[in-house]
């Protein structure tokens, strides 16, 4: 697909409990110094530092456990409270560890939150808030972070297009439900000296 081309318009916002994961290869090329600066900017933790209301989450789990589906057996209020607290602690530990890596870890070579950061006003709403989901869909084109992001060999066809003094790098990633075209358009606008070629395997 040519660098400046993207499908339009986006379909209705999607945030499925079990999304379809789409495989992509993104190649970025251009002047070697500019590409090096882009790679430095793009590398991050691959996580979004959402502000989570753990008390609210615990209460939701407590009431869900007290009133399970009709075909399932319920548990006591004491058991529901204990399990809800365990769930809260597990989510807290996992999320706080991920948040602690934001701005520190560079394990993800193409981090959307580094390149198109979610504003704090949106972060404080939480990952499942409708306004937050709408922002992600409009600005990223997906309501989930990219998964399994890794550097790969630059495709031969892209290597042949390089001019003297140019360099290239490529990443593979999986995107939920749609390709991150809105994010790529904004990134390309911010880095006009670079060429972006994203190929999706639908």
**Per-residue confidence (pLDDT) for residue 77, from 0 to 100:** 83
**Per-residue confidence (pLDDT) for residue 13, from 0 to 100:** 61
Distance, CA of 202 to CA of 198 (rounded, Å)? 12
**Per-residue confidence (pLDDT) for residue 113, from 0 to 100:** 96
Query: Cβ distance 90 to 162 under 8 Å?
Result: no
In sequence order, the β-bridge partners of residue 171 are 26, 151
Residues 6+ apart with CB under 8 A from 13: 133, 134, 137, 143
**Per-residue confidence (pLDDT) for residue 8, from 0 to 100:** 53
For the whole model, what pTM was predicted?
Answer: 0.76
Domains of the chain, by residue range, sit at 1-49+108-202, 52-101
**Per-residue confidence (pLDDT) for residue 2, from 0 to 100:** 46
10-residue mean pLDDT profile of the chain (202 residues): values are 50 67 96 97 93 76 75 76 84 76 87 96 91 94 95 91 93 95 97 95 78
Give, as one character, the DSSP assignment of residue 56: H
**Per-residue confidence (pLDDT) for residue 19, from 0 to 100:** 86
**Per-residue confidence (pLDDT) for residue 181, from 0 to 100:** 95
């Amino acid at each position: 697909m040519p660098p400046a081309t993207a499908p339009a318009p986006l379909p209705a916002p999607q945030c499925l409990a079990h999304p379809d994961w789409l495989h992509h290869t993104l190649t970025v090329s251009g002047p070697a110094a500019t590409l090096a600066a882009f790679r430095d900017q793009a590398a991050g933790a691959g996580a979004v530092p959402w502000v989570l209301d753990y008390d609210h989450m615990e209460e939701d789990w407590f009431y869900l456990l007290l009133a399970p589906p009709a075909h399932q057996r319920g548990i006591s209020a004491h058991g529901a409270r204990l399990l809800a607290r365990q769930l809260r602690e597990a989510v807290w530990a996992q999320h706080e560890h991920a948040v602690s890596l934001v701005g520190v870890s560079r394990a993800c070579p193409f981090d959307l939150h580094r390149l198109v950061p979610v504003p704090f006003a949106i972060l404080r709403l939480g990952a499942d808030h409708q306004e937050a989901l709408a922002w992600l869909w409009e600005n990223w084109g997906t309501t989930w972070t990219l998964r399994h992001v890794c550097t790969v060999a630059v495709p031969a066809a892209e290597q042949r297009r390089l001019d003297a003094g140019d360099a290239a790098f490529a990443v593979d990633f999986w995107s939920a439900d749609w390709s991150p075209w809105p994010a790529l358009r904004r990134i390309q606008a911010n880095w006009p000296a670079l060429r972006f070629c994203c190929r999706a395997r639908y």
